[in-house]
Each structure stands twice: as structure tokens, then as C-alpha cells.
């Protein structure tokens, strides 16, 4: 399995080589690490599904690619000799991750819940703040527009975590974002 994980890391590195908006290899690695940490507390989780799903979760993200049916992820999995049933399970977990595509829906599998939590954890806290401004800047969003994103999405994520471990991890990150927003408001009030 480690060989396939290493190959997935290299595949993501190549797929996101030109990306500087907070997605890409470093994000995938953080999601992978968080997912594996959460999976340790979820004994029913298939760690192979979690590992590969976490690494490949943005390989077909609708904001970044114009693919259908998880083409990039499936291409990689097929090249690795992954059996179709397992590839389907990985893609099912990947498809459950997106906030905008799955509003209010909880993933139907524990693996999907873990990967969704791990991705959401990377959207909050210090790293989440940096990613928000990197993505916003690349896509022409002003800093004020990025602040709006906190209220539209990021501050909601703590209460949308699926697993106990992710809820625990989200708490500190959420507090840090609230402190950041308080400082933002304080500094703007000094004009």
C-alpha cells in the first residue's frame, strides 16, 4: 500500500504543479495526515480508502478541473491496478467531500466522513486563513471578499464535523479564526 500512496503523492504533485491557490500537494498531504489521524479513532474505517481518497480528493475538483466521473482519480487508480470496486469506493468518498456540492449532506460512509472532516480541518485555523486569502487573491477576490467567505462557510465548519476526533481538532482552529476576525475588525476600526 505504501508504494501506491507514494505514487499518489507524486501524481498529485504533477497534477497541481502550477497551482498556488491553496490546493495542491501540500494541501493534499495535510488532508492525508489529518485523515489518517482521524481514521485511528474510527476502527471500522478502511485505511486504504481513506489514504487514497484523501490524497486524490481534489484531483477532479469542479473548481479546478473540467472532468467527469472522477476521470483524473480513476486514471491514476487504474494505472495502479486498483480493482474497479475499490476505485468506486474511493471515488464515492471523494465525491462526498465538497462543501458546495454536498450542502447539508453527511457522507454515507465512514471513509467519506473522515476525508470530508480532514479537508474541512484544512479550511480552518491558521492554514485555512492563509488558504482563503491565497485562493481569493488568485481568483480576483478582495481581502474584504475573503472575510465574507469566513461568515458564509468557514465559521460553520466546526459544527459540521462528522467524527469526534475532528470535532476536537476543529475547536482550537475555530477559536483562532474568531480571534483573527476580531483583530481584523479592530484594525479596520482604527482608520
Q: pLDDT by residue (tens digit) across 39-89?
A: 999 999 999 999 999 999 999 988 778 899 999 999 999 999 999 999 999
Model confidence over 112-144: pLDDT tens digits?
Answer: 999 999 999 999 999 999 999 988 988 899 999
Q: Specify the CATH class of 2-189 in words.
A: mainly alpha
Residue among 5, 29, 4 nearest 16 (CA):
29
pTM, two decimal places: 0.92
Q: In Å, what is the CA distance from 144 to each residue of 57, 106, 131, 150?
A: 28, 30, 15, 10
Rounded CA separation 30/24 (Å): 10
Rounded CA separation 34/103 (Å): 22
Rounded CA separation 25/58 (Å): 10
Alpha helices in 57-109, H assignment, sequence order? 71-79, 84-95
Model confidence over 155-180: pLDDT tens digits?
Answer: 999 999 999 999 999 999 999 999 99
- Looking at the predicted structure, is the pLDDT value of residue 108 above 50? yes
Cell numbers describing residue 117? 472532516
Residue 94 pLDDT level (bands cut at 50, 70, 90): very high
Q: Give the mean model confidence (pLDDT) for residues 5-26.
A: 85
* Residue-level pLDDT at 96: 87
More confident residue, 97 or 178: 178
Contact 177, 129 (CB under 8 A): yes
* Residue-level pLDDT at 191: 47
Residue 190 pLDDT level (bands cut at 50, 70, 90): low
Rounded CA separation 31/49 (Å): 13
Amino acid at each position: 500500500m505504501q508504494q501506491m500512496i507514494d505514487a499518489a503523492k507524486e501524481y498529485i504533485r504533477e497534477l497541481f504543479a502550477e497551482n498556488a491557490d491553496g490546493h495542491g500537494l501540500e494541501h493534499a498531504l495535510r488532508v492525508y495526515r489529518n485523515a489518517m489521524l482521524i481514521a485511528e479513532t474510527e476502527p471500522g474505517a478502511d485505511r486504504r480508502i481513506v489514504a487514497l481518497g484523501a490524497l486524490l480528493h481534489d484531483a477532479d475538483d469542479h473548481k479546478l478541473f473540467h472532468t467527469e466521473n472522477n476521470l483524473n482519480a480513476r486514471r491514476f487508480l487504474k494505472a495502479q491496478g486498483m480493482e474497479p470496486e475499490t476505485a468506486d469506493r474511493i471515488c464515492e468518498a471523494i465525491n462526498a467531500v465538497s462543501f458546495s456540492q454536498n450542502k447539508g449532506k453527511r457522507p454515507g460512509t465512514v471513509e467519506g466522513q473522515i476525508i470530508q472532516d480532514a479537508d474541512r480541518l484544512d479550511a480552518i485555523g491558521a492554514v485555512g486563513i492563509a488558504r482563503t486569502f491565497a485562493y481569493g487573491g488568485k481568483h480576483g477576490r478582495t481581502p474584504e471578499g475573503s472575510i465574507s467567505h469566513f461568515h458564509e462557510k468557514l465559521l460553520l465548519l466546526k459544527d459540521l464535523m462528522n467524527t469526534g476526533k475532528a470535532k476536537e481538532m476543529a475547536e482550537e482552529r475555530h477559536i483562532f479564526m474568531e480571534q483573527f476576525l476580531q483583530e481584523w475588525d479592530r484594525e479596520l476600526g482604527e482608520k
